[in-house]
Structure formats: structure tokens, C-alpha cells
Amino acid sequence: MRMYDLIHKKKEGKALTAEEIDFFVKGVTSGEIPDSQTAALLMAICLKNMDDREATDLTLSMLASGESADLSAIPGIKADKHSTGGVGDSTTPVVIPTVAACGLKVAKMSGRALGHTGGTIDKLESVPGTRTELSTEEFAEIVNSVGAAVVAQTGTLCPADKKLYALRDFTATVENNALIASSIMSKKLASSADVIMLDVKYGSGAFIKDPEDAMELARLMVRIGEGAGRRVGAIISSMDVPLGRAVGNALEMYEAADILCGKAPEDKLQVCVALCAGMLTLAGIAKGEEAKKMIAEKLESGEAFNKLSEMLEAQGGDTTELRNPAKRRYAPYKMELKAGECGYIYSMNTEEIGLCEGMLGSSRTSLDGSVDFLAGLEIIKKTGDKVSPDDTVIILHTSDEKLLMPAAERLKKAICYSAEKPVLPPVIYGTVGI
């Protein structure tokens, strides 16, 4: 078999066989296929697409490229959740403890920030002392005793995705449903959970801009997961504006703690409740109104918040700041971005907002670099809000003063104003499999 022939075949729009896909994935993993040929095939896939069968075969070959997590020490049904990536999208620290308080065990594997989107591991590590690199035994022990734990994905799971993702990022070949579905589902299948709940984002801050494309992606991922014997569901939710009010690692953890204590921005609460309800439904614990009632009880009673504290403390975290708003640390430098106009916020380019968060110190400049956990943005006004020129729209936070001005200049250009109130997209566009 020759890589040249596979590229040529896909360039002509023909479907690759399972053997051809496996040859490609094995060659990428071993390093035998040069990046130039891998990139050429990725571009041909982006332009000519893959059908469902090819996407499934690609997922299974990527899954087989590495190890799968061993969760055999955790009895019963184990759940995981995954978002396709967004800005201010920290639903995990709300959803995981809430469903754990409802009796569902959560064994979650997460990643770090990617492109303009944030990463759960960075957010959790902003809580002082929190460890996310746990041994299999320690991970199982915490899930068994607390009900939930979150670990950083190891390099031994899906090494093919590691290589392909870096190359896709470099060659503008991220945005393709078959490539996104295989990348996410190979990692989720390798994490070995029985229940997989997906949050597929659409809009200006998501990898997929159009809601119908996001719906298609969700259907594809659910089919792939179900074909592998897992219970999979998805919500399709808007990322046309940052979710909630906080964008930044520590800021998002503070917001998550506040949501669990009853102070929730409406949009983020809606997404969190839908994800919790989906997980409880897939696990067979409760569905519909019964699930929603159970979730509300766990939030109102403080059990969900206690579960978050218990989980973080079991992972070495000091939760003083989460429990005590007066003790929270904030970055030393702040700047208020004023509207400077009268009218309504018509749109917010959420990808740009995510990139500005990165400019303030939240994103890595090298793969093993550190991040400024305190950097970020407080979104005071959002799309659809009425503003006067002196109103603060966003507060920028950073530990490095010289980063403020360039980020503020870029942010200004990311926000459009109008005299008319815009029509807002629904927070949740649809669901699949639940």
C-alpha cells in the first residue's frame, strides 16, 4: 500500500477502505508517513469529506493506536462528558459534582487549552495544590470514595490523535466533521466510560459555526459511540457569546463555585442542567422532570458544592478561595473596556474574545509552558444588552500590565453595536440520543 495512492483516491472523492485508513493511522503513529503526506490527506479529507463508515473506521484505528484506561477497579456505571470547545465554557466543575451528588460515578479525562478554547485541566489546576496527574489506582480510589475525579489525559491514550491534531492545527484542517468526530470519540472511547455526554458547540466561538453542521457532528459522534457499545448523548449549544460571565481559569472556577451556591448566569445554568439531565438519563438514574428536580435539589441543598470541594481536596486542592469569596485572589492589573456607544450589543466575536483571554496570559506560548491562572475577562454586558457610552462591557485581568492595551484594542474590534436589539440564538439548539 502507498500513501500516494490514498491521497490520490481521496482527492478524487472516493471512500477509503478500513485497511487503507488503518495503514494511514499506523504510519502516522510510527512516524513512517512524512508530515507532508499526512497533511495532504488531511486536506483532501477536508475538501472531499468522509462518509460515516470511514469516520467510524478512522475513530477505531485511532483508538487502537494507544492504550485504553483501565476502570475495572470502579464498580458500576462510569460517566464522562466532553465539550467540543468554547470560551467561558467551564461546565465540568458544575456538572461533575452535581451528577456525582445524584449517585452517578464520574471518571473524567480532560485536556488543556486548545487554540482559542479553554481547557478543564488548566481551570482545575488554578485551584492551589490540585493535582490532575493521578495514578490509575489513585484515580479509581477517588472515584470510588468521592464519586468523581478528573485526570489529565496521558500521552499513551490515542497517540495518533496527538500527532494528527497538531498537524491539523498547523495546516488549517481542524474544521471537518469526520476529523473532529474521530479525534474526540477515539479519546472518549479510550477513556473507557460507559456513559458519554457530549456538548457540541456552534457559533462564533466554536470550531463549527453553523448549528445544523453541529447537529450533524453530534449525530455522527453519537452513532460512533453507540456502535462501540457506549451510551452516548449530545446537546448542541450556542457559543455565539461567551458562556456565563467569566472567561479565564481562576475566574471560571470562582463562577462555577458561585453557580453551585445558587448565583448562576442563566445561560450557563441552562447548559449545565441539560448536561446533568442527559447524563442521568443515559445512566438510567432519572429522566425528564424527575432528573431536573433531582438536580435542583442537589444544587439548592449545597450537596453539589460540597461534592466539588470533596473532589478537589481529594486531588490535593485547597478550596478556601472557592468557599470564601472574600479570600479570592485576582490579578494585580485590571482595565475596564467601556462601550463608548449608545444602543445594543449586536454581536460578540467569541473566538476573538477567547484569543484576547490568551493574550492576557491564559494561553501557553510553548507546549510545556505555564499559564497565568489569574488572567481573564469578566463579561459585564453581553449580546442583546442595552448600553450607554460609559457602561463597562468587559473587565480585563492580567498579572502583566503591558498585556492590557493590546488585548483591549483587539477586544474593542470584537464587539459590534446597533440601534436595534438583535435576535438571540437559543442557548440550546437541540439534543441527540437523549
Q: By the criterion CB under 6 A, which residues form the site for ligand URA?
A: 84-85, 165, 174, 179-180, 183-184, 207
Q: Are 93 and 253 in contact (CB under 8 A)?
A: yes
- Distance from C-alpha of 196 to C-alpha of 188, rounded to nearest angstrom: 7
Q: Could you tell me the smallest distance in angstroms from the CB atom of residue 367 to ligand URA?
A: 15
Using CB atoms within 10 Å of the CB of residue 399, give its burial: 0 to 12 exposed, 13 to 18 middle, 19+ buried. middle
Q: Could you tell me the smallest distance in angstroms from the CB atom of residue 59 to ligand URA?
A: 12
Q: Could you tell me the smallest distance in angstroms from the CB atom of residue 86 to ligand URA?
A: 10
- If phi > 0 it is left, if psi is from -120 to 50 it is alpha, else beta; for residue 230 that is beta
Nearest in space to 413 (alpha carbons), one of 341, 352, 355, 361: 352
Q: Residue with C-alpha cell 494507544?
A: 66
Identify the H or E element spanning 68.
none
**Residues with catalytic roles:** 82, 161, 168, 183, 187
b vs e for 288-309, b when ≥16 Cβ sit within 10 Å of the residue's Cβ? eeebbebbeebbeeebbbebbb
Q: Could you tell me the smallest distance in angstroms from the CB atom of residue 168 to ligand URA?
A: 7
Q: Which is nearer to ligand URA, 60 or 411 (CB)?
A: 60
Q: Could you tell me the smallest distance in angstroms from the CB atom of residue 68 to ligand URA?
A: 16
Residue nearest to ligand URA (CB): 183
Q: Which is nearer to ligand URA, 207 or 254 (CB)?
A: 207
- Distance from C-alpha of 117 to C-alpha of 294, rounded to nearest angstrom: 31
Using CB atoms within 10 Å of the CB of residue 380, give its burial: 0 to 12 exposed, 13 to 18 middle, 19+ buried. middle
Q: Could you tell me the smallest distance in angstroms from the CB atom of residue 176 to ligand URA?
A: 8
From residue 228, alpha-carbon distances to 127, 137, 149, 300, 352 in Å are 35, 25, 24, 37, 37
All three cell numbers of 241 = 457569546
Measured in whole angstroms, how far is the alpha carbon of residue 110 from the centre of its chain? Answer: 8
Q: Which is nearer to ligand URA, 208 or 415 (CB)?
A: 208
